[in-house]
Amino acid sequence: MNVSLILIILLIGAVATLLSGDKLASKVALFFSLAALGCTSVLVHHFLNGANVSLNNPWILQPNVSFALNADGLGLAMVLLTVSLTPIIIFSGFGTHFNNSKNFYALVLFMAFAMTGTFLAADGLLYYIFWELALIPIYFIALIWGNGDADERKKAVVKFFIYTLAGSLFMLVAFAYLYTKAGSFLLKDLYKLNLSATEQTWIFFAFFLAYAIKIPIIPFHTWQAKVYQKAPAIGTMLLSGIMLKMGLYSVIRWQLPIAPQAAKTYLPVLIGLSIAGVIYGSIVALRQKDLKKLLAYSSLAHVGLIAAGCYTLTADGLSGAVSQMIAHGFVIVGLFFAAEVIYRRFSTFQIDGLGGIRSQATKFTSLFMILVLASVALPGTFNFVGEFTVLYSLSQVNVWYAVLGGTTIILGAYYMLKMFQNVMLGETNTRTFADVTINETIVFVVIIAFLLFYGLYPKPIVDLVNPSIVEILKVINKN
């Protein structure tokens, strides 16, 4: 089976959605997103049965660029995350009216196409093209269909666009230099390079700027909270659930294997910055009065821990980081959807204006509570599997890293439960809060079912990813 079929389905879906008209746009987009999910499921089945599902065709002769897609376990896991969350995110928007919805949903599918390409690309220039393409749709989604004051929204989105683009240019320069050394952009050729310590340092930090902004790692996080707050719910879900995983995935796939000595040299600094993000994000989340901003800083704390796991350079760290990427993708989409459900009823994200919802909407309260508990890594949820594995990997490097990284569990439990108390409990709100609709319930149930199933039985995902992690570690430790 040709791996490029997933990209073709998403791209055709974007065009078909654009041509379908506003009334049918959401349904057409949902159909093609589900088709991409089905195609990916078949592809994973073939891969697990030993079939070669990668692709490498000549594309541009000068410079030497190939249309190369590497469908190994790591890449397929991230593609599964993308094509699983995309229909959930699209379906979550069925309760919201969007002007020019055909344009809106076409951009959503095009973004899924670009992110999928980023996870599959095995040629540096092709990877860079997909990386940058993913930035274009979210720029327009947040700018045109976002929330709040138009001028503030424009400032936040433009800052995000320029900031991210500027960081990516350093990565492009790094690829250009690597091409002069290897004569190719192919990932397998870049892995074979024997770069000096100085070369590795420059290459490593050129990649780091692009990835640290996208993830984000402090102090490169300043764009995040505002954009998450101002983007529409679907845009925020795409950013937090999938797009930031591009940076984390790229650390494992590109940065560490190409410049392993630099990664080992600067390991304490990298883990230190990542854990600083855990503590900073948690403390700032405690002080937030806006529900979306609180969830944004919560996300910052959790991805800081994932980044720390990546930079341990251990099998447990990388495996745990991938598990946590997937778990975080689902739980943060669920939490932002819960915030959107509240906004649909009360037209506010201000925590002070909420409270007393539980007595009017017991079903929503129960579903929201499960997501909150998953977010704080309650045993039995997939988030616990990822966080425990990452913390264990940190203890292998230095026990104090694990102690400091573990603050995400303590502080996270405090600010998330405090938020839940302020938003959902208390005296009955004077305004009417209708309980979740059938469509909203479906979104929550699918997300929660995933988190609980893989929380109890993570083996399929771990077995899919670990062989790729082993191969990457071989490249990292070759010197």
| Tens of pLDDT, residues 82-123 | 999 999 999 999 988 899 999 999 999 999 999 999 999 999
**pLDDT at 46 (0 to 100):** 92
**pLDDT at 409 (0 to 100):** 82
Write out pLDDT tens, residues 325-378: 999 999 999 999 999 999 999 988 999 888 889 989 999 999 999 999 999 999
Q: Looking at residues 450-477, what average pLDDT do you find?
A: 95
Residue type for position 80: L
Half-sphere exposure of 370 (CA within 13 A, CB side): 20
The span from the CA of 60 to the CA of 150, in Å, is: 42
Residues 6 or more apart in contact with residue 27 via CB below 8 angstroms:
none
> In this model, does residue 428 exceed pLDDT 80?
no
Segment holding 58, helix H or strand E: strand 55-60
Q: Looking at residues 305-316, what average pLDDT do you find?
A: 95
Nearest to 305 by CA among 204, 200, 384: 384
> In this model, does residue 467 exceed pLDDT 70?
yes
The string of DSSP letters for 221-280 reads: -TTHHHHHHHS-HHHHHHIIIIIHHHHHHHIIIIIHHHSHHHHHHTHHHHHHHHHHHHHH
- As a whole number, the mean pLDDT across the chain is 93
The span from the CA of 65 to the CA of 125, in Å, is: 7
> In this model, does residue 315 exceed pLDDT 80?
yes
Confidence grade of residue 1 (pLDDT, cut at 50, 70, 90)? low
Write out pLDDT tens, residues 281-307: 999 999 899 999 999 999 999 999 999
**pLDDT at 64 (0 to 100):** 87
What would the two tokens of residue 110 be? Answer: 């095009």
What would the two tokens of residue 165 be? Answer: 């683009």
Question: What is the domain partition of the chain in residue ranges?
Answer: 270-479
Write out pLDDT tens, residues 59-68: 888 888 999 9
Asked whether the beta carbons of 124 and 64 are under 8 A apart, the reply is: no
Asked whether the beta carbons of 319 and 462 are under 8 A apart, the reply is: yes
Nearest to 229 by CA among 303, 300, 131: 300
Residue type for position 285: A
Segment holding 67, helix H or strand E: strand 65-69
Measured in residues, the chain has a length of: 479
Asked whether the beta carbons of 270 and 311 are under 8 A apart, the reply is: yes
Nearest to 190 by CA among 203, 181, 198: 181
Q: Considering only the C-alpha atoms of the chain, give the largest distance between any 2 of them, rounded to a whole number of Å.
A: 69
Q: What percent of the chain has pLDDT over 90?
A: 83
Write out pLDDT tens, residues 151-179: 888 999 999 999 899 999 999 999 999 99
> In this model, does residue 431 exceed pLDDT 90?
no
